[in-house]
Amino acid sequence: MEKYQTSIFNDVIGPVMRGPSSSHAAASARIGRLIGMAAKSNIARAIIEYDINGSLAQTHDGQGSDMGLASGFLGFDLSDTRVPNALEIAKTSGIEIQINILDYGAIHPNNYRIKTITDDGREHSWEAISTGGGMIKLWKLNGFEIDIMGDYYELLIISNQSIRANIEQFITDPEYISESKCDALVCTNIKTRLKAENEIINRIIALDHVKEITELEPVLPTLSKRGCSVPYSTADELLQHTKNNKREMWQLAAFYESVRGNISEKEVFDKMSTLVDVFANCVNEGLMGTQYDDRILDPQAHLIEKGIKEKTLLPNDLLNNIIKNITAIMEVKSSMGVIVAAPTAGSCGCLPGTILGIGETMNLSKEELTKALLASALVGVFIANGSGFAAEVAGCQVECGAGSAMAAAGIVQIMGGTVAQCLDAAAMALQNVSGLACDMVANRTEVPCLGKNIMGGVNAVASATMAVAGFCNVIPLDETIGAIADIGKSLPGSLRCTLGGLGKTEASQKIRERLK
């Protein structure tokens, strides 16, 4: 199968969700949703196993992995008001969820091993991983190797022998067909961009040797396609493209996603414009005050407005508005309100809070904010390709650090800078946070996450200012991303979204006990 191509709305800006973490809550909800589709009848019992050496063993409860799986089993949308109570709803709905922590040599720190038993006694065993920012991969089903990311309609057909030749008679233009063998059985996986008609499903079921067929629908907003290509996948390729194309950074982002998603550039712009409204609602909701028992911090965003009014803060409207907006968004996240992972839930305040804070200060239009976010998103594409967005893999530098780099590019767009300056600003911002640990206090994405989001916003302003002023960026963006990925892999596991650093302090342990 061809290499998956990063999508702005799949990988970078999104999903729209509830929960403390996109790597945990959103990803697990998508995994649970696919498993729920495969179950066909009600799930009566789910046995979930986390590897003791991975991130999920320590963070699955506080970061929402269990909650996300339950909401997925129940078929809830990621932004559904019932998501925070999904575990309780699952229990009252008759779903028994058992959590086991084992040493089974998981291939990834965010590895899920799940066995489901339905009301009619059918069993399925799955393995899946969360790859960052809500993205997932189901890679095993009942011992068969599969490759499902949620970007296609999928048919999984279990048979006694290969039926590929027969299948091709019914489905004349599939995107991909692959086969995997386990013991004496064959699993045929068919990927399509349209849902198979019932008549075709019935004809497949009627084939000799077919034992079982499972249908899955996409869980990602942008579908993939055979022969999917993009005009550029690295910053250097973008610069090469601009030698003969003088479009602005935001236009190049819209063009990229239009090619990737097979939609018009206007549709791309309109999608991002809709997300601007979600970001603005987050800020407004946060400033109105949020309440939620299971969190560390009380509402604080309003304190910035109070300080401005009482003149107890430095007279810097730009930074004060950025800090206020980032805090408001983070408080909505921590109270299980609707946010956008941008690029992740743990870093959801940095990029939009910074861009909207500047917009508030400069009285920018919604159109200008949309352009800034598109410019930011294209940098996110390059980071997704080079390092990914999972703190469990590379530390907070690929979450808050990535958000800061993206915001820096968006600020340069607002300032009327060039494409090269957008890329330089992003590189400088990343270089300034290399080695950033992910060391959550009390297993919650609140402290030091809030401060790191705010730091990322201020860092973005400084980096954009330097780039537009003409400061020399020594290390190009692609090489910076490569270095960040290398640094992340060198960080000890305890500093990659587990409970090391600040998370293991005495104060953190006391807070965790109190929240229990």
Please report, for the domain that includes residue 71, its CATH number: 3.30.1330.90
241 with 208, same domain: the answer is no
The DSSP bridge partners found for residue 124 are 116
H-type alpha helices, 206-338: 235-242, 249-261, 265-288, 301-310, 317-334
DSSP code of residue 14: -
Residue 210 domain flag: yes
Classify residue 194: in a domain, yes or no. yes
> Same domain, yes or no, for 127 and 158?
no
**Domain match, 156 and 262 both:** no
Statement to judge: residues 307 and 430 lie in one domain = yes
Last residue of one domain, picked from the residues 97, 125, 146: 146
Q: What is the per-residue pLDDT for 167?
A: 83
Task: Give the containing element (helix H, strand E) for 357.
Answer: helix 350-362
294 and 425 both lie in a single domain: yes
Residues with Cβ within 8 Å of 156's Cβ and at least 6 positions away in sequence, in order, are 38, 141, 146, 187, 188, 189, 213, 214, 216
Residues 354 and 438 occupy one common structural domain? yes
* 10-residue stretch averages of pLDDT, the chain, 516 residues long: 93 96 96 94 95 93 94 97 97 96 94 95 95 96 96 96 85 90 94 93 91 96 94 98 94 98 97 98 96 92 94 96 98 97 97 98 98 98 97 95 98 98 98 96 94 98 98 98 96 90 95 89
Q: Is position 229 within any domain?
A: no
State whether 130 and 164 are in the same domain: no
Q: Is residue 230 part of a domain?
A: no
Q: Answer whether residue 397 is part of any domain.
A: yes
Q: Which domain-ending residue is among 89, 120, 146?
A: 146
Rounded CA gap, 493 and 509, in Å?
19
Query: Which token pair is 175?
Result: 């995107």
- Give the residue numbers spanning the domain of 207: 152-217
Place of tokens 């590189």: 427
**Measured between alpha carbons, how far is 77 from 424 in angstroms, rounded to an integer?**
38
Say yes or no: 121 and 208 in one domain. no
Q: What pLDDT does residue 168 have?
A: 79
Residue 222 covered by a domain = no
> Based on the structure, what is the number of domains in the chain?
3
Asked if 97 and 90 count as a contact pair (C-beta separation under 8 A), the reply is yes
Per-residue model confidence (pLDDT) at position 393: 93
75 and 203 co-located in one domain? no
Per-residue DSSP letter, 299: P
**How many angstroms separate the CA atoms of 285 and 465, rounded?**
30
Residue 319 lies in a domain: yes
Residues 372, 304: one domain?
A: yes
Pairing of strands 43-51, 96-102: parallel
Q: What is the predicted pLDDT for the residue at 115?
A: 97
Query: Are 202 and 299 within one domain?
Result: no
Domain boundary among 146, 162, 190: 146
Position 170 scores a pLDDT of 82
Within-domain flag for 325: yes
CATH for 194: 3.30.70.260
Q: Do 239 and 314 have their domain in common?
A: yes
Q: What is the CATH number of the domain that holds 262?
A: 1.10.4100
